[in-house]
Amino acid sequence: MVQKATSILLALLFSATLLAQQPKRPDLIVVVSIDQFPYSYLTRFQPYFGDGGFNRFLHDGASFTHAKYPYSTTYTGPGHAAIGTGYVPAKSGIIGNTWFDRNERGPQYCVGDDHARGGFSPQNLASDSLGDLVQDRYAGSRVFGVALKDRAAILMAGRKATSAYWFDSSIPGFTSSSYYHSNKQLADDFNRIVPDLIKSHPMWEQSDFIPAADLDRITHDPERLRKYKTSREGLGVSFPHRIATAEALTYTPFGNELVIGFAEKLIETENLGTEDGKPDLVFVGLSSPDYLGHNYGPDSLEAADTVVRTDRQLAAFFHDLDAKFGARYTVAISSDHGVQSIPEVARDMGRDAGRVDMRNPNATIRTYGELAPRAGDEDRGEARHQGHAVHADREDVHHVFRRAGDLSQLDAHP
């Protein structure tokens, strides 16, 4: 079971013990999830990687080139639940970032918890996770989740996690909830340096890691199409991007530095990875590639710069782990989902692409806005909060089960 949970969805795996003559159980396991990071980024940008980041995995580790999610709702919540548990949404219970709860007659956020101070917990996670199983097998092992996004940190770490920490721009800094035995002093100490880190990055300028001539070939970001990008927090849609707030920083690759820095502080403060026969597990969620990826698209200059910067940031992280743990740790890298091109950019590149108006102005298909009155507010609410999904009429579904004589299915599909 543990083997299944660790291997089913990981795209890259590197163990420092692979370089030793007699590999042994690692004392520390680090799982890195890069939000919105398709495998194609590895092949597209590999010529511009250094030696210590992604290439270390591609050359000296294991690379799973066909690690695909066998479900359609590849959102952040289901993806990070899958990384942490090895299960698809039907088994993990995390079917979206938000869904309609028929019992509560309203939207349910995937990690929302009104009973926890701080508002978040893994209460909706329905399955055991890798972290749970490690702790069951090795009494005294500790499991942590760290990310900008609460749902990334919480769902990867699992229900029995020692703690999970996520970034709150209003602090600005990392926080947790009363569900966990969190180390408030750890968070407070790190958060004191966050304002200085923000000030150290007043501007996001394009790096020179990729030669200008190559950028024209591997990106598609003409000035005339930048109107289809999205500007948030005053960042604009072209380089250079001025960074004025903590929130703005998270929409740049420098947001990765917040997470990696906190993860390193966590490992040091909690004294993880000791040689006591009890492996510790740390999940690290790099959320910034997703934030900025939605704004600028995968074909943009910003996406290209983010990938090569992330490579260098990970290399520095692994260098620090090498110095501290030598051959006593293992790292795996994956992603919760990929990304598609901005439709107007894709069309300009010669692809058959466009946008669909989900408001269905011509009434050619049924949407929640056109549900018959008998469907009621409940079905309308479900359709509104389930994302891009097909919704069956509840009465029609129940009629099919009744006609088939399989009344037991009615209880399974309330």
DSSP H helices, 142-231, are 150-157, 184-191, 194-199, 212-218
In whole angstroms, what is the distance from residue 282 CA to residue 150 CA? 15
**Alpha-carbon dihedral angle through residues 186, 192, 195, 200, given to the nearest 10 degrees:** -80
In whole angstroms, what is the distance from residue 218 CA to residue 3 CA? 37
In whole angstroms, what is the distance from residue 86 CA to residue 7 CA? 8
Residues 6+ apart with CB under 8 A from 38: 298, 335, 338, 339
In whole angstroms, what is the distance from residue 368 CA to residue 401 CA? 23
Answer yes or no: 76 catalytic. yes
In whole angstroms, what is the distance from residue 88 CA to residue 36 CA? 18
Catalytic one of 6, 76, 98, 250:
76
Q: Are 305 and 3 in contact, with CB atoms under 8 Å apart? A: no
AA identity, residue 236 = G
AA identity, residue 84 = G
| Active-site residue list | 76
